[in-house]
Structure 1
């Protein structure tokens, strides 16, 4: 392993991290790094600046270690160094070389990202209950009043952050607790692999011996009958032994389509929703990210970004990093005019998403299918009315910021009808080559309609 080609390590590392972190993160933070050598069990990595060192150690070190462990298949430590500049003294350079020793840590691989903590989470009206409930879970882990704990929201609003924060705080208070973070897709993949390799006993032992199980996006388990059943028995084992279970989802438990017995189990604990953050919370989030990363961006620019990006905290942070990177590369100060230019594509999409109404969609769809708005809102179920209604619901999920229940109310229906409509239209788009252009044409026309 000592003779493994450094370029091969680097290529494999990038591939794995692109899958786990995304290409944008890798482009911004991982690719500027450089693997210098791997000798004597020490992997030496060079970074371009102190900002990179702090970001990698605070945010992505766990991901880096996990990927490298899979690639190197050996025990190792990491030495970081900063690219030497002429005005760096030898003492300054040596102080930045911090070997990362992992010999005395909890040997259980928890898959947690140490960057996500309670201290780093901005509390606001939209997430206060979920935040307080998360803190309570740590204080009274496994107690019936807090177990299970389910957090649901639209993507990018912070539920994954809270999930990791719970795990990190548990380990901070009990470093040898068996805590495992796993995505819903990861759980499914691992279970399928255990079936293929006939290692179900090992799989069950791993999951049922935990002190705390954290599963992100549990909706990916839905519809996979054997996997859902295995999760049910894992859930029961942990619950009966007073072990903590925390799940996140994009819907409430009763909207997921889980089996009745599992759905009732999830609803028996705490269920907390995270809603879209208000303007003040969005500004506070950007200020924290700016300060922690030492970005030279003024409050008026942050307010401009916060006003323009309303839906997703992930997109909000992405805008901040994109603007900072642009300004660093071009050697300019961040201003509102520069932000408008750099973030034009995102801000345009946000404006469209938050300006389009269901009424616009209904007008266009009714004209195309030659039906009336009254028909769409009626209880009529004949296909000549039901199909345009389903297309309208699908477009509403794609073009507006409304939740599924809110869209349902626009058509005098419930959220389950909207879910069914979206699935039906997506299936038609996938299976009918002539239908996708129709949808694209309807979208173009919707955006051109006056919102009144």
Structure 2
């Protein structure tokens, strides 16, 4: 069974956020008997967490390796063994790296993460203790050099550079944009710039998602290490880079801790950079003091790029990442067809270049049209009616179902899909979207956040949602 479990682990490591894999999956062992798989966790807390949140993902991987699996059980190991594993679990949680969403909407693989053993007293990517005194071992995925500046993002770009130059006269920077427009690019560019610049001095930084902050706090509480957790973020940080803070809505205890952390960092003169898909005033289920603090710093919104900027993105990405020159008529075609999501624009470009290489053909408009057809995106952004029509066709529902009181899983997923697409492709506010579906703006926000979380974690629901998006002929 050991070889089979190792194979399952390899699959799970590729599918899951690295932080989830390191803390919850890697400590498990497994036995396979009479068609049933038993997972053995180091303690009851880990067993319960895996059972409640990751069992479906493990089941998919197990069936891929073992074929038919009658059942999967998760149990904690014997009490004596739990004591020995406690320190190991705490150490793993402290070192966990939570992967950010990359330009394709996925988590970076192992080769992109911060290696262990880079020193003490300093944090690198995603909370990993490391020394940034000029060490180049961690490959930050994005930099200012490969960020294409245009009217839609010039302010956010300038503010991000000001953080690096210590010329931003504010303790906080809040970067806001719809998915796929560059906020992760800029926050990683800040971290990467400071890492490369730290030759003669230490720049202590933490880079992680808000959900990873919450997960590490929960682990610290369960393991009796909360004071250590507090010291990590309140006393040993010069710059905190915190992504996707909208994931904290409704999490009161986590919000209280983050608020205390921000107050402590401000008193020490430390800086904080947030990213979010929502403006501070749009957040719901967030403590009023914390929401006020989110909006107290410098706010920079990234809008959808104009046609010229999109063309430059295509041309620059082709040259920098693929050493390829894209004909102007092809870059213009791609920029005209894909308007709202830079991730999709980059993905389309990558597929175009790869197809040309595999077929040994020149990159032409005809070839670009073939690739663009796979993305099913028209020149004009869809309006609400087209979104509703596409969602109903995909989920085999009536338009009335989306606005009904139904809480059936299929209806809720379809409704959240409509929320997400309306936010992405239209200029409607959360309140206006809610009115269209007889929902409060807070419900819309939670639905969009649910979609983003499932896609980021690469869960079965997230992959199902992505497949649904692929089928939407918008």
> Shorter-chain TM-score: which interval?
0.5 to 0.7
Give the alignment partner of residue 19 of structure 1, picking from 9, 16, 21: 16
Pair 1:66 & 2:113 matched: yes
8 Å CA contact retained: 1:150, 1:247? yes
Deviation per residue, 1:141-182 (Å, 9 max, x gap): 7x6x32211011101100001101111222233342111210
Is the partner of 2:149 in helix, strand or coil? coil
Of residues 151, 167, 170, the one that matches 2:175 is: 151
Deviations 1:273-306 (A, max 9, x none): 1011111101111111111120253222122111
Q: Which residue of 2 aligns with 1:131?
A: 157
Distance 1:110 1:261 in 2: 38
Match status 1:243 vs 2:270: yes
1:360, CA displacement in angstroms? Answer: 8.6
CA RMSD of aligned residues (A): 4.5
Residues 114, 369 of structure 1: CA spacing in aligned structure 2 closer, same or farther, 3 A cutoff? Answer: closer
How much has 1:341 moved relative to structure 2?
1.6
Counterparts of 2:449 and 2:232, CA distance in 1 = 37
The answer on 1:165 being equivalent to 2:170 is no
- Measured at CA, do residues 234 and 110 of structure 1 come closer, stay the same or move farther in structure 2, by a change above 3 Å? farther
Q: What are the equivalent positions in structure 2 for 1:429-440 lying under 5 Å apart?
A: none
Contact 2:143 2:193 in 1 (8 A): yes
The answer to whether 1:300 aligns with 2:324 is no
User: Contact 1:147–1:244 (CA<8 Å) still a contact in 2?
Assistant: yes
Q: Return the match for 2:425 from 392, 398, 401.
A: 401
Larger radius of gyration: 1
Name which of 232, 241, 255 aligns with 1:206. 232
Distance apart, 1:261 and its partner CA: 0.4
Does structure 1 residue 342 correspond to structure 2 residue 371? yes
8 Å contact from structure 1 (residues 62, 113) kept in 2: no
Residues 20-44 of structure 1, C-alpha deviations (whole Å, 9 max, x = no match): 59xxxxxxxxxxxxxxxxxxxxxxx
Match of 2:223 in 1: 197
What is the alpha-carbon distance in structure 2 between the residues aligned to residue 64 and residue 328 of structure 1?
25
What residue is the counterpart of 2:39 in the other structure? none
Closer, same or farther: CA 114–392 of 1 in aligned 2, 3 Å: closer
Q: Which runs of 5+ in 1 are unaligned?
A: 22-59, 76-103, 371-375, 377-381, 384-390, 428-442
Partner residue, 2:212: 186
TM-superposed CA distance for 1:425, in Å, is 11
1:313 to 330, 336, 342: 342
CA contact (8 A) 1:356 1:447 kept: no
Match of 2:261 among 217, 227, 234: 234
Return the TM-score normalized by structure 2.
0.60
Provide the C-alpha distance between the structure 2 equivalents of 1:425 and 1:297, rounded to a whole number of angstroms: 35
Q: Does 1:325 align with 2:354?
A: yes
In structure 2, distance between residues paired with 1:181 and 1:118: 17
Q: How many residues align?
A: 335
SS in structure 1 of the partner of residue 16 of structure 2: helix
Write the distance in 2 (CA, Å) between the matches of 1:248 and 1:109: 26
CA separation of 1:264 and 1:155: change in aligned 2, threshold 3 A: same
SS in 1 for 2:160: helix
SS at match of 2:300: strand
Cα displacement (A) at 1:421: 5.1
For 1:269, the equivalent position in structure 2 comes to 297
